[in-house]
Amino acid sequence: MSEPGFTTDQRERESSGAHPYGRYLEEFEVGDVYKHWPAKTVTESDDHLFCLITMNHHPLHLNDVYAANSQQKRNVVVGPLVYSLALGMSVSDVSGKAIANLATDELSHPFPVFHGDTLFCETEVLEKKESKSKPDRGVVKVHTRVFNQDGVLVAEFKRLVLVPRREPGEAAA
């Protein structure tokens, strides 16, 4: 038996004063930049667990002796973890209401991430298009950038996110 007034509906829960999670299509404006919070310090444990879960056993990530003889002279955090953290850090601002993530493009890692680095992310809205066939949604294109604690760009990517409209429009003829 549930409590009176209990709801699992996101709109109802946000109307109580809870922090909004994600955005509707109408809330995105081309040129806006969202500086995501909180930041994340990547630990050795985070990196090793991610590598082991994903079966990436490259010694640059897991073996201190091997890494000491590499050009970086120390372990490097595996790139997909950096991407996954950035994507996750952007959800509450970008895709928290998403119907689907449609595509990720232009993923790059211009500088390595090391154990103990703290990642800060921001996302810029590049495009916003209403769906021509379904009036209750649209597609937003965003560019997410990841910086370390020194302000050095360590990763970036673009993605297309299918998001609902707050107020469904008319279908295109």
Q: Under a CB-based contact definition with an 8 Å cutoff, are residues 121 and 36 in contact?
A: yes
**pTM here?**
0.87
How far apart (Å, rounded) are the C-alpha atoms in residues 67 and 151? 24
What pLDDT, in 10s, does the model give residues 39-95? Answer: 999 999 999 999 999 999 998 998 899 999 999 999 999 999 999 999 999 999 999
How far apart (Å, rounded) are the C-alpha atoms in residues 58 and 83? 18
Sequence ranges of the domains in the chain: 31-164
Q: Under a CB-based contact definition with an 8 Å cutoff, are residues 161 and 94 in contact?
A: yes
What pLDDT, in 10s, does the model give residues 82-118? Answer: 999 999 999 999 999 999 999 999 999 999 999 999 9
DSSP designation for 112: -
- Determine whether domain 31-164 maps to CATH 3.10.129.10: yes
